Structure 1
Amino acid sequence: MPPWYHLLTRMSLYFENIIKSALSAALVYKGEALGALVVENLYVARAFNAFDIRLLDALAQAAATAIVNARLYESERTARIGLQALHEGMRTERDSLERRIAVHGALAEVVREGLPLSALASRLSRICGGPVVILDTLTQVRAAEPAVQAEMGRELPGIDWERLAGGLERAAAVRTAQHLESGDGHTLLVSPVTGGGEVLGFLLVHVARMLDAADEAAVDSAALVAAAEFLKERAVQEREIRRLSDLLDELLAGRMPALATPIPAFQPPLLMIVGALRSQDASSRRIDVPTLRAFVALTQEAIDSVMPGAIVTVRGEHVVAVVPSPRVSEEHLEQALRASGAKIERLTSNWRASFAVGGPAEHIDLISDTYNEARLAIEIRGRFGRHEPVFRVNGLGAFRLILKAVNHVDVVQGCERVLAAVAEYDRRRQAELLPTLRAYLNGGFSVKAAATALHVHPHTVQYRLARVQEISGLNFGFPDDRLTLEIALRVVDAYELL
């Protein structure tokens, strides 16, 4: 027998012993049973009469009506709350949609009117209610609202550069916006500007609240506008570089370009400027494209500040400029180039700029020689580990004679014969004799300096130098022999750079 049977039995006996009489009336409203109204007497049997029955029935009808009214009220109240929530949601969506339309209209005007990046920063600042900064891929400040004195991201006031640099790196890696919390409780949104499969720059939005969906949509749209502007600037720069490169090729070939409007920069005497970047990190040998573009732009800006309209273009990994000598102060030009080099070093922190100033070339036929002399000069200085931000080729002394010597095949062949036996020994034994000789010469004939440069013991340098003397038949103790070895190595090194 199930357990609940015993429980019901015990409860029945309990009520039989306690309740003496009871009266019950059904709660019914329009034929729907809602429950029952029960009155019990625990002491007197048959305690209720006909009047009590009529009274309880009347009370039951009133209670049934009250229950139905209460249910109707609750149902109406729930429906009203639901309608209010729906109305509020629709109003929020409407406001958000209107705001997004206004945002896109404001940003579309920047594109439609061809407004600069500063106008884009101003509009985005008004939309998001906080400062906005636009950086290029080298974190150079291209526009800001409100305006700032900083030229690059690391100089922005009130921003922890280490945190920002980490945010920029993550944004560039994952191509999505990053939220950085600042110490004052504000939020810094770092959004990458992408186009053509690469990161072109960044948008920084500094606000005192969490950005909503409309704000983030505005930032995304602004990033697209900025990307279009960056790509347009790049296209214009590359087109101009190609045009000027073609004109420079004509000059280097000894031909005056045929132009409808003569350009003063093509009229001799001309200065030839060759700029190069040297990595301060042994692991970075090749210049990346954004760094080279920035180098060209900064060099153009520096030269234009002294001589507007000069030719500035790219050949390989060198920046080449042609400047009319009589029309420019060479002192001011060198100052502008130094400032340009210092700025590229601050922007990249890994590259050092150096400029060789050659000439002036008094005739168009001499332009090619002047260019080659400046190019070789800057390469030789780099190979010798010497770094000057700006130097004059005609101030190189004996090195200029070496540069001229490489144009004579018989001189080069004679120098190669001097070093032939040593070079062959190096090739067969990997003895590093010529690199040791080069380090010894670059170190001012110091064994200790050469050992430091080569990361070897000074005894190793002495042994290798002794082998050089033995194999070449030349003795460092004789000034003529030592000069012969140095000139031969310098000429061969310069010739290899051609």
Structure 2
Amino acid sequence: MSEQRVGHGLICRDLLGMPHLAGSKVLAGHPGLDTAVIRVNVMEVPDVIDWVMPGEFLISTGYPFRDNPSAFAELIPQLVEKGVAALGIKTKRFLDEIPTRVLDVAEQYQFPIIELPPGTVFSEVVREVMERVLVHEAAQLALLQRRFQRFSELLLEGKGLEDLLGHVEEELTNPILLLSSVGKLRVSPSTERLTQEMGLKKQLTLEQLQKNSKLGIQHLVIGDREIKMTVTKIKEQYGIESFLLLLEWHQELTPIDTLTLERLGVLIHLEMMNMNARREVEAKYIDQFLQDWLIGRIGTRRDLDLRAEACGCPIDHNGYFRVVLVRWLAAVPDAVQLKRIVQQLRQQESLHSRDFLYVILGDHLVVLFNSEASLQEKELRRRLKASLQGINSQHSSPFTFSFCLGKIVNSAEDVNESYLQASNICTISYICGMEQEMITYEDLGIYKILYLLPQGRELAKFREEWIAPLEAHDWKHQSSLIYTLFIYFDQNENVRKTAQKLYTHHNTVIYRLERVKELLNVDLQHADDRLQLQIALKLYAMEMRRLENGNEPLRGGL
């Protein structure tokens, strides 16, 4: 018996060739003769519908309906709904013939009605059918075992997932694809051309599969064909999922093929776990190398090159280097989430090049790349957003971020300088409440000087002289003088724009500014007074940010 034939198993049509069913006739429902038969049952009670199972060949003498043969017609739709394969009726004992009404309904539902000869022995029929079913199931199990063994040997030989998919396609005679949790599509070499010609990479996206709750059987329209697709979930680490996709491109799946896919999912899961374990070991060496490089622990260029080669991160000394530190603005990923983000970012890298190098330092994600082009920063932002999609979908407060850009250096030995500057930008921008998408050292303005001022008595005294009267007035009168000043200076001292920003009348802004002048006894038109007030406001904002987190920038700085 061929492997392909084994996959289809026993069908209704095969019943007619069995010795103990010789002389049987199909009276109705011929299109249903290709239905699979996996068990046999005897019906001699009228409420049999409560006991039938899918795939059963149901046989009867017609005894339950001897007084009302037409009642068979009412039973047929219920049998079809239950998944019964066919009904065999032995005539000439309780029923002389099967009523035309029954045959008409069976024909309508394409449900096979088989007339059994009067001499049919039900016990022999049950034995013969079940023998055939058990032989078929044994052959299926043997075939499944052979397939599973071949697939396991391929992985043990280190062939990889692409080669495994190619061998699976030969067995199942259909294209099979693996869509990873980062949206990477793995296919065999023979299916690669198909995915390109038919635009499958655009149709088979991670987002579409994750949103579609009806996993199992789906349908794709490819060209002018509608293709049935079997989708199998594969769990990875941290609860993330990949998807195994089989397209019924050449032929329909058989039950043994479906079982093969289930077993294949287990093998792929184990291989992915193995790959992740290898990646984690490699990642530890890469992490240590990058941390030492950024912090400045590697002394000479020779040592740097040796360690870079050993980690698979060769350095292009002809390029530029820049360090980007990711500063989380609201919610902050925990250690597990941050590790998952880095893993997904690294998986997006090409197998033959590393455009970006990612590492975790403290509670921060740090990125190193070899270009001064702004396109690199845009691409990094795109990749980071893509890696956050799965995590953000599970949280009510999504993770948002700023890029703190260290200076560009043209020597690998100077990367530490870029990292230190990015760290300072992260700390200062947090304390100063800056939340731009990208922040450079130049963007810090006067804050980079104010941050360096020692937190002593003189600084506190200067801040209090300018802020305390306003703070007391705001508290006593429930007013907004301090906030108005922030907006006023932010809008370049434009009263109309300040009023628009505050959603108030411009006369209200003018009144508040007059109250500031009276309380501080200053002239806002005087350059020196205006400068001192602006500096005091910035120092006040920095102090408030410090106090929010116990004098430590826990969410923004290092």
TM-score, normalized by length of structure 1?
0.59
Q: CA deviation at 1:262?
A: 3.7
Cα pair distance change 1:163/1:263, threshold 3 Å: closer
Residue 179 in 1 paired to residue 217 in 2? yes
Residue 338 in 1 paired to residue 378 in 2? yes
Q: CA deviation at 1:273?
A: 1.0
Q: Is the 8 A contact 1:107 1:221 kept in 2?
A: no
Residue 263 in 1 paired to residue 305 in 2? yes
Match of residue 346 from structure 2: 297
Q: In the alignment, residue 143 of structure 1 is paired with which amino acid?
A: R
Residue 418 in 1 paired to residue 463 in 2? yes
Residue 93 in 1 paired to residue 174 in 2? no
Match of residue 403 from structure 1: 448
1:230-273 CA-partner distances (Å, limit 9, x unpaired): 44444445445554554555566654469995437999999451
Structure number, greater radius of gyration: 1
Cα pair distance change 1:132/1:224, threshold 3 Å: same
Aligned partner (choices 207, 225, 229) of residue 188 of structure 1: 229
Cα pair distance change 1:278/1:101, threshold 3 Å: same
Task: Classify the secondary structure of the residue corresponding to 1:375.
Answer: helix
Q: Is the 8 A contact 1:276 1:319 kept in 2?
A: yes
Residue 356 in 1 paired to residue 405 in 2? yes
Q: CA deviation at 1:165?
A: 3.8
Q: In the alignment, residue 386 of structure 1 is paired with which amino acid?
A: Q
Task: Classify the secondary structure of the residue corresponding to 1:147.
Answer: helix
Match of residue 109 from structure 1: 153
Q: CA deviation at 1:100?
A: 1.2
Q: Is the 8 A contact 2:232 2:244 kept in 1?
A: yes
1:109-157 CA-partner distances (Å, limit 9, x unpaired): 343123333234434444444443323334x124135237999xx9834
Cα pair distance change 1:117/1:418, threshold 3 Å: farther
Q: CA deviation at 1:369?
A: 3.5
1:304-343 matches, within 5 Å, as: 304-305=353-354, 312-316=358-362, 318-322=364-368, 330-331=372-373, 334-343=374-383
Q: Is the 8 A contact 1:299 1:337 kept in 2?
A: no
Q: What is the distance in 1 between the residues matched to 2:279 and 2:515?
A: 53
Match of residue 31 from structure 1: none
Q: What is the distance in 1 between the residues matched to 2:253 and 2:299?
A: 56
Q: Is the 8 A contact 1:358 1:370 kept in 2?
A: yes
Residue 369 in 1 paired to residue 409 in 2? no
1:66-86 CA-partner distances (Å, limit 9, x unpaired): xxxxxxx95566566445423
1:14-53 matches, within 5 Å, as: none
Task: Classify the secondary structure of the residue corresponding to 2:187.
Answer: strand
Q: What is the distance in 2 between the residues matched to 1:416 and 1:131?
A: 75
Match of residue 205 from structure 1: 246
Q: In the alignment, residue 320 of structure 1 is paired with which amino acid?
A: V
Aligned partner (choices 163, 166, 171) of residue 211 of structure 2: 166
Q: Is the 8 A contact 1:244 1:311 kept in 2?
A: no
Q: In the alignment, residue 202 of structure 1 is paired with which amino acid?
A: F
Q: CA deviation at 1:163?
A: 5.8
Q: Is the 8 A contact 2:359 2:366 kept in 1?
A: yes
1:244-283 matches, within 5 Å, as: 244-247=286-289, 250=292, 255-256=297-298, 261-263=303-305, 271-276=321-326
More helix by share: 1
1:15-56 CA-partner distances (Å, limit 9, x unpaired): xxxxxxxxxxxxxxxxxxxxxxxxxxxxxxxxxxxxxxxxxx
Q: In the alignment, residue 262 of structure 2 is paired with which amino acid?
A: D
Aligned partner (choices 259, 263, 268) of residue 221 of structure 1: 263
Q: What is the distance in 2 between the residues matched to 1:346 and 1:128?
A: 34
Task: Classify the secondary structure of the residue corresponding to 1:156.
Answer: helix
Task: Classify the secondary structure of the residue corresponding to 1:409.
Answer: coil
Give percent identity, aligned residues only.
Answer: 16
Q: Is the 8 A contact 1:302 1:337 kept in 2?
A: no
Q: Is the 8 A contact 2:289 2:307 kept in 1?
A: no
Q: What is the distance in 1 between the residues matched to 2:203 and 2:526?
A: 64
Q: What is the distance in 2 between the residues matched to 1:404 and 1:300?
A: 39
Cα pair distance change 1:314/1:107, threshold 3 Å: same
Task: Classify the secondary structure of the residue corresponding to 1:94.
Answer: helix
Task: Classify the secondary structure of the residue corresponding to 2:218.
Answer: strand
Q: Is the 8 A contact 1:313 1:319 kept in 2?
A: yes
Cα pair distance change 1:365/1:118, threshold 3 Å: closer
Q: Is the 8 A contact 1:426 1:433 kept in 2?
A: yes
Q: What is the distance in 1 between the residues matched to 2:480 and 2:210?
A: 42
Q: In the alignment, residue 297 of structure 1 is paired with which amino acid?
A: R
1:445-469 CA-partner distances (Å, limit 9, x unpaired): 5677777878x55678777777776
Match of residue 181 from structure 2: 137
Q: Is the 8 A contact 1:384 1:442 kept in 2?
A: no
Q: CA deviation at 1:89?
A: 1.0
1:415-459 CA-partner distances (Å, limit 9, x unpaired): 8952653567778998776666555555665677777878x5567
Cα pair distance change 1:121/1:303, threshold 3 Å: closer
**Which segments of 5 or more consecutive residues in structure 2 lack a partner in the other structure?**
1-116, 309-314, 393-399, 547-552
Q: Is the 8 A contact 1:118 1:144 kept in 2?
A: yes
Match of residue 24 from structure 2: none
**Which segments of 5 or more consecutive residues in structure 1 lack a partner in the other structure?**
1-72, 172-176
Q: CA deviation at 1:274?
A: 1.7
